[in-house]
Chain A
């Protein structure tokens, strides 16, 4: 006769695990990866590969030799960080090796310094991305222009993103958003939706992002609160500005479809570890992200502010968690 196991109740588990959640996120990122490869070709594939391999490798090395704990590479979180980091850089040939530095900062500084998955206050992929943006400003803002499908050459012509062109154009006297768009032959709304424009590897196609986001919503990995609050706030705030002065501000539809808002709202801001736990807290968090993004885009030095907005809101997440406790039963 065996010895009986003894434990407190409950004696069953939902079978949900961190590993399953992380691999579901990875699956949700696949459409964006495919889109990136379709638009930017071999570069996109190599950057993603280098980024993922480096993230996993650095995590494994740090866990084995510095922290001396069992490896958690299999839980898939390093792969998520690797993919998101790759999605946040321009798909140029230089990035193939530069992204390895970003991976080291993302995993080493952004994640493992704090004790690994679950303990990091900031989104590791964004820590890596912002580090690269500040350290390599030229390389990080040189975007390959999208030409034909599946470009296989590593050499690409480069240009700025629509947001960058408009921001730069508006600094000239008498320029309006419309005149800049016309003068530079910027992409139409359909092209923007499909992602046929300059931009980071994974952020260009809103449709691919939405496919991934809907999958995560269906599998209950994320809830609608952060993406809707984030995109909604950005839409409304930029809409108000646009109504006030259409010459100086970009219209709200273009605002939310260009740059990193969609990717940021659906995949970076929704990171469980660094976002608030309660639904109300998540709405506040999304609202803050949207507001900061538009403020940085319009009045900051950078044409894009999603990364900074999310990192800033990450820093107030503990405070939001403290304010927004769940409603107690019968209170």
Chain B
């Protein structure tokens, strides 16, 4: 079975919500839709206080190059456009909408039947992705229309669909593949057509036998879709590692996947692409996992973007257990700890993961014993222990010379450190210092 060559770890999988069928989350009374839910510049609001909006209506436009359109996820009245603290407490601009009924735009096809035929030209597909505000749902929220506009002189040879879902706990991709296999395959075909590549590879880790079976059967009905089971190893879903696992190619430092002829999209994104291109439905919903070892029940939900974490918790489990120590948006390896539960969800949200007090505490840090486990675990072939020392002593230039910017912050170093040194935190600080130094030199 294929996998990436260098480093990696195998954290406890904890996929306890695997069997929870995707449920529709009831509408909240108000949503707050952030203007930057994607990589790049914030979108510009085109509605004003008091405006009536429908589900799927464009409410903020992408005016910068690196930006994505944002649509209303509910119907109702714009309450205000104001500052809103995101899940980590940073102030952002948001459009607050009071929910009234559930009235969708007429152009959106809400019938359940799957539409396979797509007669659009590649350029039209990309334009559709831009119009519908599609961004990558694997974590980076990179605007899809930019990714699928191949720059002059570059040529795509592989389309790779990331269904590794290597993060512990997360099961939304797992459920999407079982419940929406056909739609995912149509979405993949559309993306394949947009790129003009002969084959698309769907990489699924072998701890998901059910999705592998369902997707393999479904892919037979489509041309040029190959399901590739992968050996279970974290961070298989990291872009460079997935490309390495499936094609054997390596994206050089500072380069993009397209430089080695690859384009990578998440399986959730291909579902969103299907809905956008075939059903005219903008990216207004996402599928997220509500999970935690101490929770009374495990769920996978389809939620409207802009619903708050508090609302999700209330609907799913009533209230957080008294012993809750941490709430994470995303997986345990790369997810963000949520400090503000009244923050709204965004396009890239993948989960609400509730950790117990005991799980949430870090063990005390001790001396580095130079075991080298961090360097062995690093999928980028870096030396985390060295960065730790260099960053602490402010030797920023040396850290840069040792390729600190290649770090993908996967967390394998800290995960495997017997001395419990917060290596990933120190490297993040180091990267910040290196970038600040580079900016100052310009």
Contacts and interface: CB of A to CB of B under 8 A. Distances in A.
Interface of A: 1-2, 4-14, 16-18, 20-21, 72, 75, 115-119, 272-274, 276-278, 325-331
Contact of B380 (A1, A272, A329): A329
Given A12-B332, A117-B369, A21 B250 contact: no
B210 interface: no
B369 A12 contact: no
A118 B252 CA distance: 34
Contact of A21 (B337, B371, B428): B371
A17 B418 contact: yes
Interface stretch (B111-119, B120-128, B321-329): B321-329
Given A329-B379, A329-B381, A329-B406, A13 B415 contact: yes
Contacts of B240: 329-330
Contacts of A75: 366
A12 B379 CA distance: 18
A326 B378 contact: yes
B131 interface: no
A330 B251 contact: yes
Contacts of B149: none
Contact of A16 (B373, B380, B409, B422): B373
A325 B370 CA distance: 14
Contacts of A274: 370
Given A5-B326, A10-B414, A17-B420, A117 B367 contact: yes
Contact of A329 (B6, B323, B327): B6
A18 B382 contact: no
B360 interface: yes
B7 to A, nearest CB: 8
Contacts of B324: 2, 4
B20 to A, nearest CB: 21
Contacts of A5: 325-326, 337, 360-361
A272 B378 contact: no
Contacts, number: 154
Contacts of B322: 2
B334 interface: yes
Interface residues of B, number: 67
B333 A12 contact: yes
B419 interface: yes
B362 interface: yes
A329 B5 CA distance: 9
Given A1-B320, A330-B251, A10 B424 contact: yes
B61 interface: no
B326 A8 contact: no
A117 to B, nearest CB: 5
8 contacts: A5-B325, A5-B360, A7-B425, A10-B11, A12-B359, A272-B372, A329-B240, A330-B253
B262 to A, nearest CB: 13
B336 interface: yes
B369 A18 contact: yes
B383 A325 contact: yes
B362 A13 contact: yes
B406 A328 contact: yes
Interface string B389-424: 000000000000011001001010011111110101
Given A118-B367, A272-B369, A8 B381 contact: no
B109 interface: no
Given A326-B378, A328-B406, A18 B414 contact: no
B28 interface: no
B11 to A, nearest CB: 6
A4 B425 contact: no
Interface string B327-371: 110101111111101000000000000010101111100111111
Nearest to B260: A330
Nearest to A10: B411
A278 B371 CA distance: 9
B22 interface: no
A13 B409 contact: no
Contacts of A331: 252-253, 381
